[in-house]
Every structure is written in C-alpha cells, then in structure tokens.
Structure 1
Amino acid sequence: MQVTFLETGLDNRHKRRVLWLLVLIAFALALWRTENWNREAALTNLQESSRQELRRYVLHLQGQLEKYEFLPGVLASNKPLVYLLQHPGDQERIVALNNYLETVNKLTGTSDTYLMDANGLTIASSNWATERPFVGRNFSYRPYFQQAMKGQLGRYFALGTTSNKRGYYFAYPVWWDNRILGAVVVKIDMAPIEESWKDTQHELLVSDPDGVVFITTNKGWRYKTLNPLAPEVLERIRKSRRYDNETLETLPITRIEARGENAQIVRINEGVGHEYLVQEESMSHAGWRVHILTRLDQVNRHVLNALVFAALFFLAFVLLVMFWMQRRHRFQEKAKFERKAKETLELRVREQTRDITEANIRLTQEIEQHRWTESELQRTQSELIQSAKLAVIGQLSTGISHELNQPLSAIRSYADNSLALHRRGRGEELEWNLA
C-alpha cells in the first residue's frame, strides 16, 4: 500500500511538472505571437505615417529646386550676357553685369549667380564684391558646366571649392547664332533647407547618385556614404571636386529586415547605436534619393506595453484557471470524501445488515431448533407417557395374567390328572380329583 501511495505521489508531481511546462510553453508562444503581431502592426502604422512625411519632404525639396530651375534659362536670353560673352574684355560691361547679377541674386534669394565663357572661366558673378569672388575662376571641371556646353540644362550638387558651401547648381547654355558662347549658373544654398528640417522627429538625409549623404539632420552623417564606394567612383568624385577635400567614410549600417521595395530596418552602429525604419524616394531630375529614418523607440514601447498587458492578462488567466482548478479540485475532493463516506456508510450498513440478517437467520434457526426440540420433547413425552401407560397396562396384564394363570394352571393340571386317571381307569381317584 505504501508503494502505491508513493507511485501515486510521483505520478501527480510528474503531471504537475508537465502541466507547468505546458503553461510556460503556452506563455512563451503567447508572448511571441503578441510581440510579432503588435510589432508588425506598429511598424505598418509607422511605415505609413513615415511614408507620408517623406512625401511631404520630397515635395518641399522639389519645390525649392523647381523654384529656381527656370532662372538660368531666363538669364541666358538676356542680351547683356550675350554681349559680354562676345566681348569678354569690356570692363565697363563686366562691372554692369556684376551689379545686375548681384541684384538678381538678392531678389531671387539664390546663393550665387555667375556667367562662364565657353572655357569655363567665370567672367561675371553676383559675389564680385566678396572676399572670395568667383570672377576669374575656372569651373570647367564641374559636370553642370559640361552638361550646359552640350546644350542641356545642367544640374549638379557639390561643395563649393571657393565658398566651401554646399549648393545645388543649375546651368543653362547661352546661345547665339546656333552656337554656345558660354553658360549662366545659378547656385542654391542647401543649408537653409537642411535648417528647416532640424525640428522634425525623424532623421532625414539626401544622397547623391553615388550614395554620398550631403543633406542631413544629423551632422555626423554628412559626407558619409551609404555603401562602400568603388575606387573608380572615388576617383571620379575627386576629379569633379564635388566634395573638395572631404573624407568620404561609410556609415556603419547593418541591414536587419527588408520591408518592401523602398523600406527596410537598419541599425546604425554609431555610439550606442539605434535601429531605424528607413524609407526612401527618388528625385529623378536631380538624381537624388531622399531618406527618412524613424527610430523604433515608439514601436519598441508599443510592443513592450503589449507584452506587459499580454503577460498580465495571461497571468490573470492562469490564476483564474488555477483558482477554478483548485475550486474544482476541492469540489472533487469533497465529492470524493462524501462518496467515500457514503460508501463507507453503505458498507457499514451492509455489514450491519448482514450481521443482523445472519443473526436473524441464526435466531430463526435457533427458534426452529427450539420448536423442533420442543416438538421432539412433546413427542418423546407423549411416547414416554404412552410407554408408561403401556408399561402399567403390561404390568396389570402381567398381574392379571399371573393371577389367572395360576387357577388355570391348576385347572389344567387337574384336568390333565383327571384325564390320566380316566385313562388308567382309576375312577375313585378321578372323582376325588374332580371333587
């Protein structure tokens, strides 16, 4: 019996361990599912809101560029510019054109406006009166000038080699008699655009076709590359002096998860490092890509809150189930106890009933035995009485018989004697014997 109890105890403990293991597995699965679902939902919402923000910034940037895109074309049709390119040594016209370009520059809000001849030499500029004017400098190495000399609208972003300011350049060819005499260039300062983005909750950056960041809300990312650049690309950038003497290092980006064609989750391992949801949109005319980076802190907080809620809910559910199971166990134990008590009572009743029945049977048997004994006694008594009566009768009969036999014997004896005397002829004696 002790072994049975021991085995039962071990079996119950094993069942409890298995049950708790299943509970822990269910808890882990619930948290995993909750984390995945809430993270995906939060990322989807964040991705949608960030995409809308990105579209707004792209439209703003495009608007800033388009506002000045027409200007070099308008200036290129100005006759004083054509005349000066035809007569570059006319100092009076150079001074007049410098003042004119300075006025245009102030009215339009551009950074610099200048005129270049067919060799790339600047012959007039709006900044003629500054400490570092463009007049007399040659920018033939700039792609925007090369594009303009091909009869195209030149577009280019670069760090100014003279001003050391970032700018976007529009260049338009100056035509005369189906011949390109030179190009007029308008430079837009990128710093105000970048400054207008500083209060955003996101990180924004704009990269050139080679993946070099030149506009960003994070100054530490400026002039960094999104991907390692090939040696020939670095050489091309060096020759164009696009970023002058800046060292183009690669941002330490770890790509974690792709989320569609133009979205991904990355980790930028600078300092403590942060994870970002990155979305990008192309500006085809400028050849740029605008990126919006949103930290996942909000997503992580949402997921953490969901996990805490799920854990509390699961804990409450487990406690409720445990309470229900404990209550059910108590009811079962109570029912088991009552059933056992009932069975014990029924057993005792059956035992007592059996004892009473057996006693009743024994009593009945004893009564029957007593009745039989009494009957036997009565019969024996009757037989004894009868025997006694017969004995008395026998004794009386014997006595009577004895009393009768003696005279009869005497008579028989006299008769026999008389018969014998008669036979012998003894008459006298016969008479005496009969007398």
Structure 2
Amino acid sequence: MPLHRPIHPVWTLCAVLLTTAGAATLAGRWMLQHSLAEENLLAHRQVSLYAQALTQRIDRYRALPDVLALDSELRAALVSPPAAQEILQLNQKLERANGASQASTLTLINQTGIAVAASNWQTPHSNVGENYSFRPYVQQALQQDKGSFYGIGVTTGEAGYFLSRGIHDAADRIVGLIVIKIALQELEREWIQTPDTVFATDANGVVFLSSDPAWRYRLLYPLSPAAQQAIERTQQYGSETLQPLQMRTMQHLDQGGELVHWQTPALGDKLLQAVDLPETRWQLHIVHDVNSSHAAAWWAASAAGGAWLALALLVLYVRQRQRLSALRQRSREELEALLQQHAQELRTAQDGIVAAAKQADAGKSQSLEHLPQGVIVVDAALRLVAWNSRYRELFRLPAGMLKVGMPVEELYRFNARRGLLGHGQQSGSELDDAIERRMQYLRSGLPHARESEKADGTVLEIRGNPLPGGGFVTSYADITSYKNAARELRSLADALEKRIADRTQDLAEAKREAEQANRSKSKFVAAAVHDLLQPLNAARVFASLLRQHVQDGAALKIASQVEGALAAQDDILGSLLDLSRMESGQLEVRWADFALQPLLLQLGNNLGVIAQEHGLALHVVASQATVHSDPVLLRRIVQNLVSNAIRYTRRGKIVLGCRRSGSHVRIEVHDQGPGIPESLQTEIFEEFRRLETGHQHDRGAGLGLAIVQRLGKLLGHEIGLRSELGRGSVFWVSVPLAQAAASMAPVVQTQQQEALQQDAPLQGASAWCIDESAEASAALAALLQRWGCSVPLAGNAQAALEALKIAAPQQTPQQAPHLLLLGAHAAAAPVQDLYQRLCQAWGGRPQTILVGDEHDAALRRLAADRGWGFLRTPVRPAALRALASQMLLRRGDASDTSDTADTQAPAQKH
C-alpha cells in the first residue's frame, strides 16, 4: 500500500520549538503574576505589623506631656522666673521623670521658646538655656496646645520625635510647654533582622528611619520649593544632604503595592509596599525581594515547556510507530534473512569461545584496571579469565604467572604455600582444607563476603559474586587502615570513659567540699553577727540615753541621726543573721492558728510613725481572717514588705489589707511608688539588689525582699508582685486559712499596753544585770536606773559569783533582787546552773528575764518551762520596760512564796 510522504524534519522541529516556547511563556507569566500577588500580600502584612509597632511605641509616651503639663511646680516656674535652686530642683525632677519613662529627653520651655529646665541638664549637650522658638512643635503647642515634629536635635545632634503640650496658668493662658523627645532608633535595630529594607518617610517624602543606613535622609520624590524652605527654616535634618532615590514603576499591584525598578541604589526589580500612619502623616515602606517570584515563574515555564515538549514527542513517536508498522511488512523477508545470518555467526563464536577468551586476555584485563580493588574472574570450569594489576600487587605475584585458562586452584595453592590464604603458616592438611573451602564457594555459585588477615598484618575484605552465564568474580579490598583506625577509636573511647569517670569523682568531691564550706560560712556568719549585735545593742541604748541629756538642737539632731544609723545597722545585721539561719536550716518554724487583725494593727502602729516621718500615710484595712502559719515569721514577712513600700514611696499613701482567695488569704501591701520594670521584678528578690529610686537617706542594704522570698519558701507561702511604671506596686503573701477560728485574747493585750504606759513598778526596785558583754550589761543597767531601779551589780557571771562569795562569811543569805536580767551567754556553764547557784545564795527566786537569740528554740523552751520572761537580742528599751513592769506587777499580785514566780510568769518575746 502506498505511504504518505513525510513532512520535512526541519519544519517539524521548528513547529515543536515554537509551540514549546509559547507554552513556557504563558505559564511563566501566569506564575509570575500569581507569585507577585502572594508576595505583595505578605509584604503588606509585614509592613502593617511594623507600622503597628511604631505607632504603639509613640503612643506609649503620648500621655506623659499631658501629665507633666498639670504639674504645679512646672507651671509655677513658667509663670514667674525661678531661682537657681528652683531650676536645679526642676532639672532633677525632669531627670527622674525621664528615668522612669525611659524617654530620650524631657524639656520645659517658656513662652519665648527658651528651655528653662531639661532632663539632660548634666550632659555636655544640655538643652537648658537654648532657644527653640523656631521649632514647629514649640509654635504648635503655644498656638494649638499640642504639637509634634520629627527632626535632628540642634543641641544634641540626635534625631527623635518631639511631642509637646502647652502649660496653662490659672487664667487658662498658655505660658509655656513641656516637650518629650522620643528616640526611635531602636526600631531600626529590630528592622535589621528582616532581609527586606524597611524605611519611614515624612510628609515630604524624606526617609528618616531605615533598616539600611544608606537609605537614611534620601528623597522618595523631589521636594517642592516650599517644603525645601520649611526644612531649612526649622533645621529639621540639620546639615544632612537630601539625595533623591531614582526608581521607575513597572507595575501596580493590589493593596497599594508596586513593582519598581531601582536605579539608585542599583537594586533591580523590587516590590515596594507602603502603609500610612495617619496621626503623624508618615508612611512606612518595605522593599521586598521578588527573586523567589522570578524563580517560581522560571520553574513554571520550564515545567510547561517540558510537558509540551514531551507531548509533542509522544505524538511524533506515535506517528513514527505507525510508519514503522507500515514498513515492517515490506522488510520482513529481509529481516528473516538477516537473523539467520546472525544466528550462524553466534554458533561459530560459541564454538571458539575459549580461543577468543585467550585472544581477548589483554582487553578484558584492561577493562578492570580502573577498579581500586584487586579483581579476578573465573569461568564455569573454574579457570582464570581476567584480572587486574591491583590483584597482582596485593598478592605479590611474579610477572607472567597469570594466564587465561589457568586453573584457579593452582593459583590458590601457590598463594597458600606463601602463607597468603590466612594468618601464619599452615600444615599440609590445613592447607588443603583452606583451598577446598574456597573452591566450594566457587562451585556453589552463592555470593559471599569475609575478612582475611595475612601474616604481615594486612587485612583484606573478600567479596565473591556469581556471573549470569556461569563463573565467578572475586574482589580483594585492603581495609588495613580502616581496622587500625577502629582499634584506635576504641582505645580513645576507653580513655575518655576513664577520664569522664575521674572527672565525675573530682566534681563530686568538689561539691562536698563546697557544701561543707557553705555550712562553715553560715556558722561563721551567725557567730560573727551575734557578736557584733552585742556592742551594737549597747551603743543603741547609750544613744537613746544621750538624747535625754542634751538640750542643744544640733546635738539632739546628731544624737537622733546616730540612733537611726545604729538602728539601720541593727536591721542589716539581723537580716544577715536570718539569711544565715535559713541557709544552715537552723530557723525553726512554730505553726499555729491565729487571727490576723492583731498582727496588722501592731504593724500599723509601729510602722505608721515611720511612714509619717517620710510624709506618707499608712492605712490598715481590718480583717477577721484566721490563718495557719508561724506568727513571728509571717510578721517578719509583712513588716519587710511594708518597710520596703515606705522606703520607695515618695508621696501618697500605703495600704495594708487582706483579700480572700479560696482556701487562702492574700496579705497585700499597696504603694504609690515609681513602679518596678518587668525586667527587674525577679532580680529585686536577690540579695543586695535594690532600686535607686528610694529615699536617698534610707535605701536599705537590699536584703529585705531576699528574706521575704526565703521565708516564703520556708513556710510554703507564695510571694507575689504586680507593678506598673508610674502607678505603683502591690506585694503580697498568700497564707492558708485556719481550719477553726482562733479565739481572741484582747484582755491580755490591754494589760500589756497598760504595763507599757506605767513606770511605777520599776520605781525603787532592785535588779542585777549579768552578761558576758560588759557593754551590754552596762547599757541595760543604765536603762533600768533611768526608770528608777537600783542596780547593785552589772557585770559578767564571774563578777556576780565573787560578789556572793564576799557576803558568804556573814553566814546570812543576801537579799534577792526584785529582777534578774540574765544573758544567754552569761557563763561557760549552762544558764540553769548559774541561776540555781544565785538562788541558793540569795535564799529566794527573783523575777527573771532571759536575754538571748530569738530563733534559739532551746532558750525559748527554757524560758517557757521556767516561767521566765524572754527578750531577743538586741534588746529594745520599750520592750524591756514593758516586760519588766509586767513581771514586777505579777510579783506583787502573787503570794509571798518565792517559788511561785517561776511557775506564773510566762515567757515573753519582744
């Protein structure tokens, strides 16, 4: 049958290429537009987030000028010219306000544009005295009450955003303004993290913020003459030269996006997206890379072109098959003849295969030369067919020994005689067994792999694989270096494990030594602080007595300051002692159910006086709650929180109250201080960490909140804090409620208060003061004498016993004093032994007050068991007078039997 005349191949090729190019172009354009739309949407979202962050940063400071504009001191400084001292106070006030708000600069400007005071008054580039009347934010505030302006500072040379607010006098006339300058450079550092270029422009198209410094102070579009004059008149950008940015818009996209070709700087095609900032008339832009869009378009074009080309080739293939099918019938006879001829040639080649193998020896071996392993090939009759030179090198075979058709068993036997089939020399039977095993591998036709070490230490990896037409190929790889490296790694691992075990043991020993050192340190601190408190207590007592003997106002002030300094030192040492006890685990917890109201009232009465001295009001909210805790330690927590609030509050009031929360009650302390930044709210609970915003004469040592945190963990009470800058702070402790309400005992409290107000029991009474510290015993004696007591003896235990021995020859017991003050360290012997010896000499038992460490549980139990009063060191005069008066009143009410005093006087702790 006739065949159609085929189309010329050149025209077919041209048609395929043209259609492929068209398909690729259409797909690439579609993918480019689709990808650009997605990138444009992503850029719009990103620049919107940056715009929101910029707006929030400015809004954070918008209220500050409004607040400062209401300040009476600032208004008074603008109404009438302030004196030098008043200007200094204004500068310090603005400096403090600026420190709390983290703003760049606060400036007070009068009606003529002159800066009266500024927060940077101590810097070399102070704003004080400068004329800013030409600045728009000054003119706007004086005319419209508010103003804003971005520019480079003419004094400091630093750029910032200025917000101004007018200050009115009593007649509601604007007499000046307060200005805050906000530094926005921190936003640029945040923008650097993105690979895109982010920049902000003002109403005139001037770039004033940018993640790339090369873009700053460039023009997005040319300036008008009026804008140029305004910038020069206000000195908005100082001496900066405003260079234009050269670009050409290539395509407009949705959401205000544009595909722009940048010429200066030379960036090529980039996506430009912008959003407006209405309140500032600014625009925030982002220059986004579109390389990914071009790459996606290229891949889409390639895929479409490839698919179209494959389809065209498939069509051509089908047409070619049709043509071949038509030709196959015509050429069948010719193909049959050709097949017969080829079959005859194959039979002839099969008969002479051995001869052909011998003749092709060199060619087959040459094809194996590129392999790094030694290789030999045997045929089905186990005769050598091919090999490479690497095999001869591994087994050091003599030249010319290997020949095509050589039995492989002969080769194995030659190697075995030289000891190359295994490790060491072998006997005849062992040699035959080794050769037979290898021959079995070849006969079985199964693949195998093993390792063999030769006598010289060389390790070979042997792999054998059968050939499809019969025969076997075996490779020999030298892995000696690998084996040596593995052995070295195992040795290194063993050495590292040993070093790790040794280091772990050293670290454990170092940990034990550190723990022992910490315990020794805690004991040393406790002993040192206790010894320091003795002379300090005496000094406080003498200071209080000194105030009774001076009349001059200056001397009385100095005596008060000395007493205050000693009290502060007493608090610091007491805090150190508490920390030491808590670290060493010596602080005992005495749990009890008790009402909160007496504790709150006591703190209100004691700390209210201190608050009044600082110009503050301490308000205590009544509570009917009954809690389960240690009353002494809980009182210490709340006292430290209130003291901390007094220390850091400059004006206003402090509120102490309770808030019930489920099965707990939160004791809260509210203050109106400067607030605590969030970054410091964890650090302030560390030792010796304090803020610099407290009263300059009373900033503490930074131990109060650390003790609160430690005591909270010891009691299992949660300690919390919430604070807002400029608004104040709230510290709280959460205490569990008691299961049953504890009964109140107001009668006992009334008796104690009445005893504190009376000195009558002390008039004419006698007392002995015994303590190992001469200063402490002398100070106690001086106090008792001032209250009308006679003190026959004030000294240590040895002095007291010697005084009793002097009276011994009279054979009559001495008269026992009315009161005995006995220090816990009065003698080397136990306190009870000293007390018994004194009572035997006197023939009676006086009222006894034991003076010792508050947290020494043994001393407190001793005082409770013996019926003694108990005072903690350092002794406070008011506590001593109250307890001594109470015990002497009870002595008068009791019977004349001297022993009854020991059982009726309860242990007291003040």
Asked whether the two chains share a fold, i.e. TM above 0.5, the reply is yes
After TM superposition, give the deviation of residue 314 of structure 1 in Å.
2.8
Q: Contact 2:166 / 2:178 at 8 angstroms: preserved in 1?
A: yes
Residue 31 (1) aligns with residue 31 (2): no
After TM superposition, give the deviation of residue 331 of structure 1 in Å.
2.6
User: Which residue type is aligned with residue 314 of structure 2?
Assistant: L
Q: Contact 1:159 / 1:166 at 8 angstroms: preserved in 2?
A: yes
User: Which residue type is aligned with residue 212 of structure 1?
Assistant: V
SS at match of 1:236: helix
Give the match for residue 295 of structure 1: 289
Q: Contact 1:151 / 1:180 at 8 angstroms: preserved in 2?
A: no
Q: Contact 1:202 / 1:294 at 8 angstroms: preserved in 2?
A: yes
After TM superposition, give the deviation of residue 230 of structure 1 in Å.
2.0
Going from structure 1 to structure 2, the CA distance change for 1:271 and 1:58 (only over 3 Å counts) comes to closer
After TM superposition, give the deviation of residue 148 of structure 1 in Å.
0.6
SS at match of 2:18: helix
SS at match of 2:7: helix
Give the match for residue 203 of structure 1: 197
Residue 83 (1) aligns with residue 81 (2): no
Among candidates 90, 101, 112, match of residue 97 of structure 1 = 90
Q: Contact 1:122 / 1:136 at 8 angstroms: preserved in 2?
A: yes
- Report the Cα distance in structure 2 between the residues aligned to 1:332 and 1:129, rounded to whole angstroms: 103
Equivalent runs, 1:33-432 vs 2, <5 Å: 33-176=26-169, 177-260=171-254, 262-270=256-264, 272-334=266-328, 337=330
- Report the Cα distance in structure 2 between the residues aligned to 1:249 and 1:263, rounded to whole angstroms: 24
Give the match for residue 12 of structure 1: 7
Q: Contact 1:280 / 1:290 at 8 angstroms: preserved in 2?
A: yes
Q: Percent identity?
A: 27
Return structure 1 stretches of 4+ with deviation > 6 angstroms. none
SS at match of 1:34: helix
SS at match of 2:174: strand
User: Which residue type is aligned with residue 32 of structure 1?
Assistant: T
Q: Contact 2:37 / 2:253 at 8 angstroms: preserved in 1?
A: no
Q: Contact 1:274 / 1:295 at 8 angstroms: preserved in 2?
A: no
Q: Contact 1:226 / 1:250 at 8 angstroms: preserved in 2?
A: yes
After TM superposition, give the deviation of residue 109 of structure 1 in Å.
0.8
SS at match of 2:259: strand
Superimposed CA distance per residue, residues 305-358 of structure 1 (whole angstroms, 9 cap, x where no aligned partner): 2223233323332332222222123234447x59xxxxxxxxxxxxxxxxxxxx
User: Which residue type is aligned with residue 80 of structure 1?
Assistant: E
Q: Which runs of 5+ in 2 are unaligned?
A: 332-910
- Report the Cα distance in structure 2 between the residues aligned to 1:88 and 1:18, rounded to whole angstroms: 98
User: Which residue type is aligned with residue 52 of structure 2?
Assistant: L
After TM superposition, give the deviation of residue 244 of structure 1 in Å.
0.8
After TM superposition, give the deviation of residue 25 of structure 1 in Å.
2.5
TM-score normalised by the chain length of structure 2 = 0.35
- Report the Cα distance in structure 1 between the residues aligned to 2:251 and 2:291, rounded to whole angstroms: 16
- Report the Cα distance in structure 2 between the residues aligned to 1:44 and 1:258, rounded to whole angstroms: 11
TM-score normalised by the chain length of structure 1 = 0.72
Cα RMSD over matched residues?
A: 2.0
User: Which residue type is aligned with residue 222 of structure 1?
Assistant: R
User: Which residue type is aligned with residue 174 of structure 1?
Assistant: I
SS at match of 1:299: helix
* Higher relative contact order (CA closer than 8 Å, sequence separation 6+): 1
Give the match for residue 360 of structure 2: none
User: Which residue type is aligned with residue 190 of structure 2?
Assistant: S
- Report the Cα distance in structure 1 between the residues aligned to 2:229 and 2:86, rounded to whole angstroms: 39
